[in-house]
Amino acid sequence: MTTKTTKQQADAALAPLAGLSRRKLLKAALWASAGTAAVVAGGFAWLRRSPLDDVAVPEGLKHLSASEYHLFHRAIEVLLPTDGTTLTPVEQIPVITNIDRFIGLVEPAIREELGIALALFDNAAVFSGLHGKRFVDLDDESARQYFDTWSAGNTLQRTLSSVVKKFVYLSYWRDPATWPPVQFDGAVSDRWGIPSLGNTPLPDESAEVTA
Amino acid sequence: MSRIDTVNAVPAQGLNLVQASDVTAGELTLRADAVVIGSGAGGAVAAYELARKGLDVLILEAGPYIPSSEFSEDFSDSLERLYQDHGGQTNKDGDLLLLQGRCVGGSTVVNACLAFRTPDFILEEWGEKFGLTNLSPEAMQPWFERVEKHLSIDANGEHEIAMHSQLVRAGARKLGWSVKPLKRNIRECALTGHCVSGCKTDRKQSMLVTYLPWAMAHGARLHSDTRVTRILESGGRAVGVKAEVVGHDGIKVADMHVDAGIVVLAAGAVQSPLLLLNSGLANGSGQVGKNFACHPSMYVAAKYPHEVFPWRGALLGVYVDEFLTPEKGGFILEAGGLGAVEMCLVNEPGTGKPFLQFMEEARFNSGIVTLIHDHNVGEIRWEKGRKVVDYKVADSDFPSMLAALKASAEIHFAAGAEKVFVPSIEKLEIHSVDEIDAVLARLENKPQRLRLVSYHPQGTLRMGADPASSVVAPHGETHDVKGLYVTDASLLPTSIIVNPQVTVYALASYISSEILKRTPS
């Protein structure tokens, strides 16, 4: 099922980024998450290679870069492990397509910051927690821990983990196909045949007190 | 002044207004006795009260006209179509979502119908600190009664108190705390639970189905898709506005010039100060855009051992007013429901399976909305052509936030909840009353700690007797510009703790009477 992805959803997902200027992001990328010592030592491989870098992305995506696609693809696997649950299987919902549409609705200035933020989230795993790998290459347990650690981390970490989660969650749950398993009713007025009361008649003005 | 004495019939459905798609000329010049900027709570009421006394009224609304028949009862879709910035309006730190309606009828279309009078102690404080003795509880009573009658405001009946609210009521009673049915502006509620997506069947008595069609029956004209860009002034008097008509595709279709001797500013507590700043008017005090408050709210969810279905029944049923006064905490708690899409965003159950389990069990959740009496510490301003909502929860308000969280958790446990989810960015759960203090002690008043939402921006053009410290005089006219009145929540000199729509309706009614007193017949 394909559902409309709205600019609202993109804005809502990106809300936490509103407080992070490009300067702050870059500064944070260098000093807060990657690790000062690594930078000083000159040994920081900012964009550590991943085997996924050579994996092609699906056709039809218009706005996600290849590395962003791989990041979200991995995040979906980690955040929505629907196997063994009563929920609608994640592969039946066009989550990555919805995310791609979100990205396309983001204003250019914010889009640039978002790109930096996503790259930071991916690459910081090399040092954060001493994983030695980018986020996309972490095993399931490490990837889950990465999210949980960052959600309790510094302001930047909380912001980025929150942004990635919101993109993924909204892109799954806004699809009505996800609602029946949780017994969410969705729209009901038409289904229940509730009539409109229309406009309310004019009040009886002759009897009213005015100052 | 023009006199319009004909009263037309109120149409059964919808509004006969002018939209961008109706405009064919590139330049529009209009005249009116009064031009009203905004069609929400403050604008619609003023338009009606002035039009019914014969003034020629023109209402300009920046947002689109979405008839209720087109409401989707899908929150995601509604945010896109009915809310300011498509639901993405936030504070500067990005940790407070500021939800306002942006459509014909304004926030009254998408609010939760909660109808409180301004607490007496708030009105008394306004008299003492801001010289607003004309707004005493006694003076305001007839205005409250008037709007309550017009909007069918009444306390929820028992059938309107859904399971989620019954639980909160039971918990509060067990603790010996005062809990009451909420009052709402609604006729024959259909119990769909979709208030914040607009009432598809017109039971909510929003401006869309009441004051706007009534004003138009008295001859008022309404243009949607029309954004006022500047208020015009000459010789210390307001003389009209300039505006742009913008299509739904974002393309401007016309410039508009309106000549009017009365300008009523009611664009809401974010847009109204921005417009005054753009216009360079009424800021002799330097207070335009300052003193922003917003009742930062949290949704405190809890899991119960039985199904609750928080999306079924009236959205909000009861409230706890035990802590209403500042001496007792300065907050209220409202029992409320929530849809599945919103539920996935209100807290952090953990990553992966814990999150999916939380959603699988969403029907077992109930929730409490917290509202605090926050201080007016924020500011609305322009920065490099972009609006900025500069607001952080004040350190002095943080104890109230924590107290509201604690009381919510206590109510949930008293009602039989198994665990309470703290609305934080990190995973924080409380499993018993004994754990409450220790868990909440982990919270700090820092950005991106709590998940905050506000529906109640206020205070940015505050009212007061002293022109040196306030923007608007006690009768609603700006100190600096004659003929320029304000009737929206920008007026409120302090936050009022409770949902502000009735306060705005009553103030707009009162200020309209003051406009009429000062208008030659």
Q: Is the pLDDT of residue B291 over 70?
A: yes
pLDDT classification of B246: cutoffs 50, 70, 90? very high
Query: If DSSP codes are grouped into helix, strand and coil, which group holds residue B100?
Result: coil
What does the alpha-carbon distance between residue B319 and residue B316 come to, in Å, rounded to a whole number? 8
The answer to whether B205 contacts chain A (CB < 8 Å) is yes
Which pLDDT tens digit goes with each residue over B5-21? 678 899 999 999 999 99
Nearest to B154 by CA among B516, B502, B503, B506: B502
CATH fold label, B20-61+206-292+458-517: FAD/NAD(P)-binding domain (3.50.50)
Q: Is the pLDDT of residue B304 over 90?
A: yes
Using the 8-state DSSP alphabet, how is residue B53 labeled? T
On chain A, the residues whose CB falls within 8 A of the CB of B76 are: 6, 8-9, 170, 174
* Residue A202 belongs to some domain of the structure: no
Query: If DSSP codes are grouped into helix, strand and coil, which group holds residue B237?
Result: strand
Which pLDDT tens digit goes with each residue over B73-129? 998 889 889 999 888 888 988 889 999 999 999 999 999 999 999 999 999 999 999
pLDDT the model gives residue A207? 64
On chain A, the residues whose CB falls within 8 A of the CB of B93 are: 18-19
* Residue A1 belongs to some domain of the structure: no
What does the alpha-carbon distance between residue B416 and residue B394 come to, in Å, rounded to a whole number? 33
Judged by average pLDDT, the poorest of A27-41, B40-54, B231-245 is A27-41
- The predicted model gives B505-519 an average pLDDT of 97
What are the sequence ranges of the domains in chain B?
20-61+206-292+458-517, 72-103+151-202+293-454
Q: How many residues does chain B have?
A: 521
- The predicted model gives B280-298 an average pLDDT of 97
Q: Which among A8, A80, A188 has CB closest to B86?
A: A8
- The predicted model gives B45-55 an average pLDDT of 97
Using the 8-state DSSP alphabet, how is residue A154 labeled? -
- The predicted model gives B246-263 an average pLDDT of 96
Which mean pLDDT values do the consecutive 10-residue runs of chain A (211 residues) have?
47 53 45 33 50 82 93 97 97 94 77 87 80 89 93 88 91 94 96 97 76 44
* β-pairing verdict for B365-372 and B298-303: antiparallel
Q: Least CA distance to A208: which residue of chain B?
A: B146
Handedness of CA A130, A133, A135, A138 (dihedral sign): negative
Nearest to A24 by CA among A156, A112, A126: A156
pLDDT the model gives residue A114? 86
**Alpha helical stretches, state H, B13-99:** 41-51, 75-82
Q: Least CA distance to B69: which residue of chain A?
A: A196
pLDDT the model gives residue B336? 87
Using the 8-state DSSP alphabet, how is residue B84 labeled? G
The yes-or-no answer on residue B456 being catalytic is: yes
pLDDT the model gives residue A16? 53
pLDDT the model gives residue A143? 95
Q: Least CA distance to A6: which residue of chain B?
A: B80
Q: What SS3 string covers A87-125?
A: CCCHHHCCHHHHHHHHHHHCCHHHHHHHHHHHHHHHHHH
Vertex B97 angle, CA A169 and A183, to 5°:
40
Contact B110, A8 (CB under 8 A): no
Tally of domains in chain A = 1
Interface test with A, best of B145, B249, B351, B391 (most A CBs within 10 A): B351
Query: If DSSP codes are grouped into helix, strand and coil, which group holds residue A176?
Result: helix
Query: If DSSP codes are grouped into helix, strand and coil, which group holds residue B259?
Result: strand
Which pLDDT tens digit goes with each residue over B432-467? 999 999 999 999 999 888 999 999 999 999 999 999
Closest approach of chain B CAs to the CA of A20, in angstroms?
7
pLDDT classification of B57: cutoffs 50, 70, 90? very high
pLDDT the model gives residue A130? 66
- Can you say how many angstroms the Cα of residue B270 is from the centroid of all Cα atoms in its chain? 11
pLDDT above 70: percentage of residues in chain B: 99
Contact B332, B264 (CB under 8 A): no
* Residue A210 belongs to some domain of the structure: no
A206 against B408, higher pLDDT: B408
pLDDT the model gives residue A35? 33
* Residue A209 belongs to some domain of the structure: no
On chain A, the residues whose CB falls within 8 A of the CB of B150 are: 203
Which pLDDT tens digit goes with each residue over B140-184? 999 999 999 999 999 999 999 999 999 999 999 999 999 999 999
Q: By residue range, what is the domain housing residue A36?
A: 7-195
Size of the A and B interface in Cβ pairs below 8 Å: 200
Query: Exposed e or buried b for every residue in B79-102, given b needs 16+ CB within 10 A?
Result: bbbbbbbbbbbbbbbbbbbbbbbb
- The predicted model gives B182-211 an average pLDDT of 97
* Residue A201 belongs to some domain of the structure: no
A169 and B344: CB-CB below 8 Å?
yes
The DSSP string of B119-150 is PHHHHHHHHHHH--GGG-HHHHHHHHHHHHHH
Point out which residues pair with B179 in neighbouring strands. Answer: B320
What does the alpha-carbon distance between residue B464 and residue B472 come to, in Å, rounded to a whole number? 6
The answer to whether A204 contacts chain B (CB < 8 Å) is no
CATH fold label, B72-103+151-202+293-454: Glucose Oxidase; domain 3 (3.30.560)
Residue B192: both structure tokens together:
């769909």
Contact A114, A17 (CB under 8 A): yes
Using the 8-state DSSP alphabet, how is residue B258 labeled? E
Predicted ipTM of the assembly: 0.94
- Can you say how many angstroms the Cα of residue A197 is from the centroid of all Cα atoms in its chain? 40
Query: What does each C-alpha distance from A70 to A52, A66, A83, B164 come to in angstroms?
Result: 7, 6, 20, 41
Q: Which of B375, B456, B475, B479 is catalytic?
A: B456
What does the alpha-carbon distance between residue B110 and residue B187 come to, in Å, rounded to a whole number? 16
